[in-house]
Amino acid sequence: DAGVIQSPRHEVTEMGQEVTLRCKPISGHDYLFWYRQTMMRGLELLIYFNNNVPIDDSGMPEDRFSAKMPNASFSTLKIQPSEPRDSAVYFCASSVSGNEQFFGPGTRLTVL
Amino acid sequence: TQLLEQSPQFLSIQEGENLTVYCNSSSVFSSLQWYRQEPGEGPVLLVTVVTGGEVKKLKRLTFQFGDARKDSSLHITAAQPGDTGLYLCAGENTNAGKSTFGDGTTLTVKP
């Protein structure tokens, strides 16, 4: 089992550019979560999906952030335009039941 | 929003010492998870507790869920440098599929 796969692992971009983060959940997991982690704010839930449907996006900071899950094996988190304050580690996690979550290795995003 | 408070925020001990970290809330949770996160990696699930008063052991780690299902503790016996990491608790208060994470305890075990 490959676990949750995220790409890229590192992303450095300039302010104003579009950033797309990708996630492949564990096969058979019906829940997919996107988190952001910073030293100041800890681990924050941005959005989660159940059976490819967005259930709660109340954690998405603003309209610059969007997430999609076109099928059970793929999800994207897009930031457009990116800002320096978006710099963080972004994690994707998947779960069978929602509570026991399996995290990917994360994408470290730096916006200059 | 349910809040989970973890304490202490930071803990630095010598190898071989015992320690306990805490996860507290005013809310009741249907289940609670503990995760460990090492630098540069994602959190890894250690255990789930479901029943009030439940105790689970994972080698040198002992997890306890409070009787009222509002709090939990993690006790490590004879800590080793490999135990170093960020310990996160997460609680699910309904079966809605979403968990609330605490801010974590950063543990450093010095050889």
Q: What are phi and psi of B31, to 5 degrees?
A: -155, 160
Average pLDDT along chain B: 93
Cross-chain CB nearest to A99 (options B40, B88, B99): B99
pLDDT above 90 coverage of chain A, percent: 91
Average pLDDT along chain A: 95
Beta strand B105-110 pairing with B10-14: parallel
Per-residue pLDDT, A16: 97
pLDDT reading at A1 higher than 80: no
Find the angle CA(A11)-CA(A17)-CA(A18) to the nearest 5 degrees: 75
Per-residue pLDDT, B84: 97
Per-residue pLDDT, B101: 92
Per-residue pLDDT, B93: 73
Structure letter (DSSP) for residue A25: P
State pLDDT tens for residues B19-40.
Answer: 999 999 998 999 999 999 999 9
Per-residue pLDDT, A5: 97
Which residue's entry shows tokens 């015992």?
Answer: B18
CB B34 within 8 A of CB B88: yes
Cross-chain CB nearest to A105 (options B41, B99, B103): B41
pLDDT reading at A15 higher than 90: yes
Mutate to test the interface with B, among A5, A21, A24, A43 (most CBs of B within 10 A): A43
Among residues A111, A70, A75, A78, which one has the least CA distance to residue A92?
A75
Per-residue pLDDT, B98: 78
pLDDT above 70 coverage of chain A, percent: 99
State pLDDT tens for residues A57-87.
Answer: 999 988 999 999 999 999 999 999 999 999 9
